Amino acid sequence: MVHTVPCVGFVVTEKDKPGRLRAGKEDVRQGPGKGSKGGLFLSWCRHRQGPSCRDRYIQRFKMILGTPWLTPPTCPSISITLSLGPLPHTTEYVRPIVERNKAGLLEQGLSDPNKIFRLLKTLQPGEAVNLPDGTLLRAEEVMEAAKQGRKIVICGDTSDASGIAALAQDCDVLVHEATNAFLLPFDKGTYMDVERFARAHGHSTPQMAGHFAHRVRAKRLIMTHFSPRYKGDLSPESLAIMKRLEDMARKTSKLRADRVLAAHDLMLVPIPSPHKMAEVGADD
């Protein structure tokens, strides 16, 4: 990454999940933390200073995803953490079928009928297992499809994130700074004047963040690290400014309006799995 001030830039990639035995609707039970939904979340915390911030980042990400680092993070001006909510545990709907076939499996020479689950997990598309009572368990019926892991890219102070572009391709979420913006009637001159100023100080504009999001084919863009001249409160004036920044980034990113956000303190953003994003037309 090219910059003139200390920056933070890293890619978090969740491991792909192999297919698992399908769960019947009646068999799903809530995991730890009843009443909470499972999933991956990005959360914005209030400003933190000091060297412990860097250590907190590293330990947090390693604990959650075992992530390789592109650039070890320095202390950013806004703390962003990843967290995994309670994930639901499932009871495979094939278990009752196996239970009623245990005696038959023992008669057929299977010393441990529970090993049939291991066999089912290795089934390839088109294959099936015929149980003693005549039940035919096809791979397509008992196995869920493998799930692609999520990818989150976070770019802090930067005027050119090209160095991270290769790893950032097709990320589910891009968090990118947007310190400076050309806003009439507050600014004089032209947009290019503001962009030159931003680059000279190692920062970006919403348009620059949008261009990078388009370059790496990000599915969602979240801007952060705004100039202190923006109050960032909930007044109509402040909300209108944030909306204008989102519109600037949306035009260059080519993303839908609901896929471009201006972050605020204590904001919590769920990160759906790629297949769920596709279901709701995130890439349209």
In a domain, residue 121? The reply is yes
Which pLDDT score, from 0 to 100, does residue 187 have?
Answer: 87
Which pLDDT score, from 0 to 100, does residue 268 have?
Answer: 80
Helix (H) or strand (E) holding 55: helix 52-65
CA angle 269, 13, 246 (to 5 degrees): 40
In a domain, residue 2? The reply is no
In a domain, residue 153? The reply is yes
Please say whether the beta carbons of 221 and 260 come within 8 A.
Answer: yes
In a domain, residue 274? The reply is yes
Task: Check whether residue 156 and residue 224 sit in a common domain.
Answer: yes
Task: Check whether residue 220 and residue 265 sit in a common domain.
Answer: yes
Task: Check whether residue 119 and residue 233 sit in a common domain.
Answer: no
Which pLDDT score, from 0 to 100, does residue 149 have?
Answer: 83
Task: Check whether residue 138 and residue 193 sit in a common domain.
Answer: no
Task: Check whether residue 212 and residue 270 sit in a common domain.
Answer: yes
For residue 28, the enclosing domain spans 21-38+86-144
Domain boundary among 128, 144, 160: 144
Which pLDDT score, from 0 to 100, does residue 265 have?
Answer: 80
Domain boundary among 144, 164, 193: 144
Task: Check whether residue 32 and residue 166 sit in a common domain.
Answer: no
Task: Check whether residue 234 and residue 127 sit in a common domain.
Answer: no
Task: Pick the closest to residue 61 from 40, 85, 81, 86 (CA basis).
Answer: 81
In a domain, residue 4? The reply is no
Please say whether the beta carbons of 4 and 128 come within 8 A.
Answer: no
Distance between CA atoms of residues 282 and 108, nearest Å: 50
Q: What is the pLDDT along the chain (284 residues), one digit of tens a residue?
A: 333 333 457 787 777 777 777 765 433 333 333 333 445 666 665 444 444 444 544 444 444 333 333 333 333 334 455 555 554 444 457 888 888 999 999 999 988 988 888 888 888 888 999 999 999 888 888 887 777 788 899 988 899 998 889 889 999 999 999 999 999 888 889 999 999 999 999 999 999 999 999 999 999 999 999 988 888 788 899 999 999 999 999 999 999 999 999 988 878 888 877 666 555 554 44
Task: Check whether residue 115 and residue 190 sit in a common domain.
Answer: no
Please say whether the beta carbons of 173 and 23 come within 8 A.
Answer: no
Residues with Cβ within 8 Å of residue 195, at least 6 apart in sequence: 180, 182, 205, 207, 208
Neighbours of 90 (CB within 10 A): 16
Task: Check whether residue 177 and residue 111 sit in a common domain.
Answer: no
Task: Check whether residue 242 and residue 134 sit in a common domain.
Answer: no
Please say whether the beta carbons of 102 and 113 come within 8 A.
Answer: yes
Domain count, the chain: 2
Task: Check whether residue 162 and residue 260 sit in a common domain.
Answer: yes
Which pLDDT score, from 0 to 100, does residue 248 have?
Answer: 97
Asked if residue 185 has a cis previous peptide bond (ω within 30° of 0), the answer is yes
In a domain, residue 166? The reply is yes
Domain boundary among 103, 118, 144: 144
In a domain, residue 223? The reply is yes
Task: Check whether residue 119 and residue 244 sit in a common domain.
Answer: no
What's the predicted TM-score (pTM) here? 0.67
In a domain, residue 3? The reply is no
